[in-house]
Amino acid sequence: MKRLDGKVALISGTARGQGRAAALRFTAEGALVVGGDLMHEEALRTQRLVAREGGTILTPGPLDVTDEDSVRSWTEDAVDAFGGVDVVCANAGAVRLGAIGSQSSVDLGFLVRAELDSVWLTVPAAWPHLVRSRGCVLTIGSTAGLNASLTNPRTAHPAANGALIAVTRQLAAEGAPHGVRVNCVNPGRIDTDGSRATLLADDQMRGVVRHALPGRLGAPVDVMDAAVFLTSDEAAHITGAHHVVDGGWSAVLPGATA
Ligand SMILES: NC(=O)c1ccc[n+]([C@@H]2O[C@H](COP(=O)([O-])OP(=O)(O)OC[C@H]3O[C@@H](n4cnc5c(N)ncnc54)[C@H](O)[C@@H]3O)[C@@H](O)[C@H]2O)c1
């Protein structure tokens, strides 16, 4: 018996990075995944990768997690195809860095939409189905929601991610009477296309990676191994919690070496 056998999992942002890793990991554990991304062609490539491994994934069409209609029809496609929803992994998101004074309210709005609307719209669309299945939600936040950074000037980014952790807890409280669990994973310094262009770009001091205790950047699958556990029945007593997956990066003072 695999950890997620027969569970229907909505995963956003499956075109690349952590979302692609999620599609591969969840299907390897027996989940029936419904993926989606703004970058539809790349999401279809993920679908082919999953199919090659023998997994089950549907990518109904382009998905914009900041658009209510798009999210609703994505959820309906999942229910039509597989009869319900057991897991929501709200992974899609985007980052814009910039120091205080250099970011406008447009940047803040962009980040709130990308990081928070993605949960705000996805969870209500899936909620009746999660209540029926006594399912679970996993939000993907960021260590930026917990800690400030000396290496990445990013005033608006933590605003969205701090709120995400608070929303996760509230959803856990509202889900509890229905048997719905809600947790958050906060990645930090994971090597993806997205982070290479932002958090890990050369001008953002990638060299300080030594501070992560294992002495390497995280891989997308490191995050999704935690995600599989948290959305499986093994985590039945874990809800309202946030979990850091950053190789200890945020636990040590600058200067530590692996
Ligand atoms: N990589 C890291 O170090 C790191 C650290 C902290 C948090 N995170 C968070 O983890 C999540 C995934 O990060 P990643 O590194 O894999 O990023 P990535 O940029 O490599 O992949 C993100 C995916 O989400 C998609 N996406 C963005 N906005 C979307 C939208 N509105 N609708 C649908 N799809 C959309 C993108 O097209 C892309 O395929 C993001 O929420 C990110 O903020 C990542």
Beta carbon of 233 within 6 Å of any ligand 1 atom: no
Distance of CA 139 from the midpoint of ligand 1 (Å): 12
DSSP state of 58: E
Which of 98-107, 124-133, 209-218 has the largest mean confidence? Answer: 124-133
Burial environment of residue 241 by CB neighbours within 10 A (0 to 12, 13 to 18, 19 or more) = middle
Exposure string of 80-115, with b = 16+ CB inside 10 Å and e = fewer, is: eebeebbbbbbbbbbbbbeeeeebeeebbebbbbbb
Chain position carrying tokens 């970011």: 103
Most informative mutation of 16, 96, 242 for ligand 1 (most atoms within 8 A of CB): 16
Please determine, for residue 6, whether its predicted confidence score (pLDDT) is greater than 60. yes
pLDDT band at 149 (very low <50, low <70, confident <90, very high): confident
User: How sure is the predictor about 202, in pLDDT bands with cuts at 50, 70 and 90?
Assistant: confident
Nearest residue (CA) to ligand 1, atom 23:
13
220-231 and 17-28 helices, crossing angle to 10°: 50
Average pLDDT of every residue of the chain: 94
> Which segments within the chain are labelled E, that is strand?
8-12, 32-36, 56-58, 87-90, 136-140, 181-187, 242-245
Question: How remote is the CA of residue 240 from the centroid of ligand 1, in Å?
Answer: 22
CB 258 within 8 Å of CB 214: yes
pTM given for the model: 0.97
CB < 8 Å & 24+ apart, contacts of 37-44: 37/12, 37/13, 37/62, 37/63, 37/92, 38/62, 38/63, 38/64, 38/92, 39/15, 40/15, 42/15, 42/16, 43/14, 43/15
Q: Is the CB of 91 under 6 A from ligand 1?
A: yes
Q: Is residue 222 lining ligand 1, measured as CB closer than 6 Å? A: no
Give the number of the atom of ligand 1 that is nearest the alpha carbon of residue 199.
3
Nearest CA to ligand 1 atom 34: 37
Residue 93 Cα, ligand 1 centroid: separation in angstroms?
A: 4
Of the candidates 66, 179, 190, the residue with the CA atom closest to the CA atom of residue 119: 66
* 147, 152, 192, best to mutate for ligand 1 pocket (most atoms within 8 Å of CB): 192
The 3-class secondary structure across 174-189, one letter per residue, is HHHHHCCEEEEEEECC
Q: Which atom, in ligand 1's list, is nearest to the CA of 223? A: 10
> What are the tens digits of pLDDT across the range 7-30?
999 999 999 999 999 999 999 999
The reply to whether ligand 1 has any atom less than 6 angstroms from the CB of 93 is yes
DSSP 3-state of 154: strand
The ligand 1 atom at the shortest distance from the C-alpha of residue 193 is 20
Per residue in 103-128, pLDDT (tens digit) is 999 999 999 999 999 999 999 999 99
Strand partners, 10: 34, 88
Domain 8-189+222-240: CATH superfamily is: NAD(P)-binding Rossmann-like Domain (3.40.50.720)
Q: Which residues contact 92 (CB under 8 A, 6 or more apart)?
A: 12, 13, 19, 37, 38, 63, 65, 114, 118
Q: Which H or E run includes 173?
A: helix 156-175
What pLDDT, on the 0 to 100 scale, is given for residue 254?
A: 67
Choose which residue among 10, 12, 14, 18 to substitute to test ligand 1 binding: the one with the highest number of ligand atoms within 8 A of its C-beta: 18
Higher pLDDT, 33 or 152: 33
Q: What local confidence, expressed as pLDDT, does residue 151 receive?
A: 79
- Mutate which of 67, 142, 250 to test ligand 1's pocket (most atoms within 8 Å of Cβ)? 142
Q: Structure tokens of 23?
A: 């599609």
